[in-house]
Amino acid sequence: MEDLVGYAFAIGAVYVAYKWFSAPKTQRPPPGPTLGFTPKRVTQDMVTQVQTMFPDQPYDNIHYDLLKSGSVEMTCNKILEQGFLPPPPQVYFTLYPTQAPPTPAAPQPTSLPSIPASSSNATSKPSLIDRYGLKERAETDSSPIPTPPPAGWETTTEKREASLRERKAAMVLAARQKLLEQERQAAASAQS
């Protein structure tokens, strides 16, 4: 009888040891319940395709959205509508560890011909005073801030265009007067 207890104990110990050592070492939880949705099949080509169209989007954001949608078109539409893809939750990184994403084979940009520094001054944009032909009015106008004409809707197209041109000119001259006044105040405070 005493031997029977010893044998039962030995068989139980062997059974526990067998179960212990035969269990898988790393048991990954199924991704469906963990992520909250059943992930779709995503290939590296799908991620690369989206990443070549939108290189500013992070690899993990693209991969996560493709897992949810399973469609390159839906992911691209989401980027176009929202302007970005939301980042994946922390659970995503436990199931899909971050790895260095493969860089798509994009052509290297060719070097552009250098532009001499002297030509950049020649092609600079004209000032608003020059663009709207207000040089004479700017030199003769000594009022503190010109007031724009009253905003009203004219009856003819020509009158409306003239009114809009005059309002635009008044705005440019007012901005110029404000800038000159700020420069005068800055110069006066620098001398003090």
Domain boundaries along the sequence of the chain: 31-95, 126-191
Q: What is the model's pTM?
A: 0.40
**Over 50: is that where the pLDDT of 119 sits?**
no
Pick 145 or 165 by higher pLDDT: 165
- Residue 120: pLDDT above 50? no
What CATH number does the domain located at 31-95 have? 1.10.8.10
Average the pLDDT over 115-121 and give the result: 49
Task: State the pLDDT at residue 99.
Answer: 65
Nearest residue to 95 via CA among 63, 48, 57, 71: 63
- The mean-pLDDT minimum among 16-25, 28-37, 38-47, 75-84 falls in 28-37
**Mean pLDDT over the full length of the chain:** 78
Q: What is the mean pLDDT of residues 60-88?
A: 91
Report which of residues 174 and 34 the model is more confident about.
Answer: 174
Q: How many CA atoms lie within 13 A of 36 on its CB side?
A: 6
